[in-house]
Amino acid sequence: MQAIILAGGYGTRLAPLTYTRAKPMLPLLNKPMIRYLIDALPPSTEIIVAANYKKEQLEDYFQENGINAIVNPEPKPLGTAGAVKNAARYINGTFLVLNGDIISSLNIRKFIQYHMEKKAKVTISLWPVKNVEQFGVVDIDRNGRIKKFIEKPRRQEAPSNLINAGVYCLDYSILDYIPDGKFTSMEAEIFPKVIEDGLPFYGYSFNGYWIDVGRMSSYIEANKLLLKKKGLKFVTGENCSIEGRIKESSVGSNCKIGENAEIKGSILYDNIEVEEEAIIENSVVGSNVIVKKGAMIKDTIVGDDEVVDGKIEGKKIWSKEMPKGYPKKQIGNVIKSN
């Protein structure tokens, strides 16, 4: 079986971190986000990564780590369905599609088994939410067959509390629904047409955890969750000097945390120096950053190669020009989230 990982987005909501790296390469516990998806797949799965922006970083990572994956470039943004059709030459039967920035407890083996047992043409993963008004939910029958999608219903009118969780199992014939070379949404255009045509379209709900890592808050939440799952208070990379305190955080390699410095609920990349008495809270700090003595960083994203001093809260720190060609606003979205 093949699995297409959708990894072509810019990750604009996580800029300036994504000015210098592909979004799937953003680390969680010092491991690229995309690695969690790859590790969740059955061992025999053939991996195709639909990529565009900074695809060379993905290629280098796969080569350096012995991961057998095809990086399939998009000549232009094609949307979730267009990216799948662009990879059609690698598909030879039932296949998976995974949103590249979802961290979840979905058991993919059981998901595939469910799809086969139902003799479905499409099966999508489903996640329960409390705030149905902020999402598109599914109208699903007792047997798990999805009848339609309803966008942001009133709570009292919602047919379920289940939303699209970003992993799909598709019959090869679904490729015929997708036009060539055109920006097309799987969720908004292809799935409703499949349901309209009466093909067996099922949903598979699961429990545990599910996080759409699209914003700083959910990025930090995912990092904390993975720490908790591993029973850890924090993690550090290689060659670190730690004199301060670290809580619910990950710290990359070659980092120095000075005396009486505090790192709380944050993600620090490689080659960072946090001088004495500095505080970093609920923030993400890019590579090669110096945080000066007594500085305080809260609810902030700091880009690579910055020097930070004073008190900073609720900011995005980037003192250089925006990279050429980087969009000023988000292009498309696999899953509509809050």
Nearest one of 168, 184, 161, 164 to 74, comparing CA atoms:
184
Nearest one of 112, 107, 99, 119 to 173, comparing CA atoms:
119
Which residues are CB-neighbours of 312 under 8 A, at least 6 positions away?
A: 295, 296, 297, 298, 300
Strand order in the sheet with 241-242: 241-242, 256-257, 273-274, 290-291, 307-308
CATH class of 233-317: mainly beta
Three-state secondary structure of 231-260: CCCEEECCCCEECCEEECEEECCCCEECCC
* CA atoms of 270 and 273, how far apart (whole Å): 9
Q: Residues of CATH 3.90.550.10 domain(s) within the chain?
A: 2-212
* Global confidence as pTM: 0.92
| 333 — pLDDT class (breaks 50, 70, 90) | very low
Helix, strand or coil, per DSSP, at residue 287 = coil
Which pLDDT value is given to residue 325? 86
Residue corresponding to tokens 């070379």:
181
* CA atoms of 321 and 240, how far apart (whole Å): 31
Cis check for the bond before 16: say yes or no (omega within 30 of 0). Answer: yes
Question: In this structure, are residues 232 and 249 in contact, taking their beta carbons and an 8 Å threshold?
Answer: no
Helices and strands (DSSP H and E) totals, the chain: 6, 29
Each residue's pLDDT tens digit, 212-258: 999 999 999 999 999 999 999 999 999 999 999 999 999 999 999 99
Each residue's pLDDT tens digit, 91-121: 999 999 999 999 999 999 999 999 999 999 9
Residue corresponding to tokens 């690579």:
304
Q: Residues of CATH 2.160.10.10 domain(s) within the chain?
A: 233-317
Three-state secondary structure of 25-38: HCEECCEEHHHHHH
Helix, strand or coil, per DSSP, at residue 267 = strand
Question: In this structure, are residues 146 and 202 in contact, taking their beta carbons and an 8 Å threshold?
Answer: yes
CATH topology of domain 2-212: Spore Coat Polysaccharide Biosynthesis Protein SpsA; Chain A (3.90.550)
335 pLDDT exceeds 60?
A: no
151 pLDDT exceeds 90?
A: no
337 pLDDT exceeds 50?
A: no
Instruction: Report the pLDDT averaged over residues 168-196.
Output: 96
